[in-house]
Chain A
Amino acid sequence: ETGVTQSPTHLIKTRGQQVTLRCSSQSGHNTVSWYQQALGQGPQFIFQYYREEENGRGNFPPRFSGLQFPNYSSELNVNALELDDSALYLCASSLTRGAGASEQFFGPGTRLTVL
């Protein structure tokens, strides 16, 4: 069973640029969630995708957007990067089977630095 993978591991961008982060779900999972973790803080929920549709969103501006593909892999896109976007971005996958919650499994994260 393959776990959750993310790419790239590290990324350095400058203010105003755009970035795309990628996540491959654990085999058999149909739901992907993205979290932002600033240094020294707990992760904050960005959004979740279920069967290629956005299925919930946290308190993040529209310049944070995402996609989920038919194979359930996912992308997080951030436009017009700001210094405060510097963080560890975590992807988590899970298997949703109707109502209720399922355990989420996390990838190793992508460390984004905005200069």
Chain B
Amino acid sequence: KQEVTQIPAALSVPEGENLVLNCSFTDSAIYNLQWFRQDPGKGLTSLLLIQSSQREQTSGRLNASLDKSSGRSTLYIAASQPGDSATYLCAVTGAGNMLTFGGGTRLMVKP
């Protein structure tokens, strides 16, 4: 059974810092890995999707890497801003096109 873990569970940083969120998964038989952003009480916004054959994806100030063999992914956020404050979720797609999510990292960026 696939298990996804995200560390840290919560993070508070001053504005302007670069930061790294970590995600690990137990079964490397995945099709892809996605990072999502979730604002309080809202749905999920997809940030980046990395196919299993890829090593990284970039979008603006965000960069996500994938090491499938070791079961790890990182989301790097450059020059953090207060508007980046949200919960970040990582999810892997396995058999049956089913997403397995981690518990999320709650990020607070202080002005």
Contact = CB atoms under 8 A, between A and B. Distances in A.
A94 B103 contact: no
Contact of A92 (B45, B99, B103): B99
B43 A108 contact: yes
Contacts of A44: 101
Contacts, number: 68
A103 B104 CA distance: 19
Contacts of B61: none
Q: How many B residues touch the partner, as a band?
A: 20 to 34
Interface of B: 4, 6, 31-32, 34, 36, 41-46, 49, 89, 91, 93, 96-104
A102 interface: yes
Contact of B101 (A43, A94, A100): A43
Interface of A: 6, 31, 33, 35, 40-45, 48, 55-56, 58, 88, 90, 92, 94, 96, 100-109, 111
B31 A42 contact: no
A35 B42 CA distance: 14
| From A55, A101, A102, A107, residue with most partner B Cβ within 10 Å | A101
Given A42-B89, A108-B42, A109-B42, A103 B99 contact: no
Contacts of A104: 34, 93, 97, 99
Contacts of B4: 42
Contacts of B36: 106
A100 to B, nearest CB: 6
A108 B36 CA distance: 13
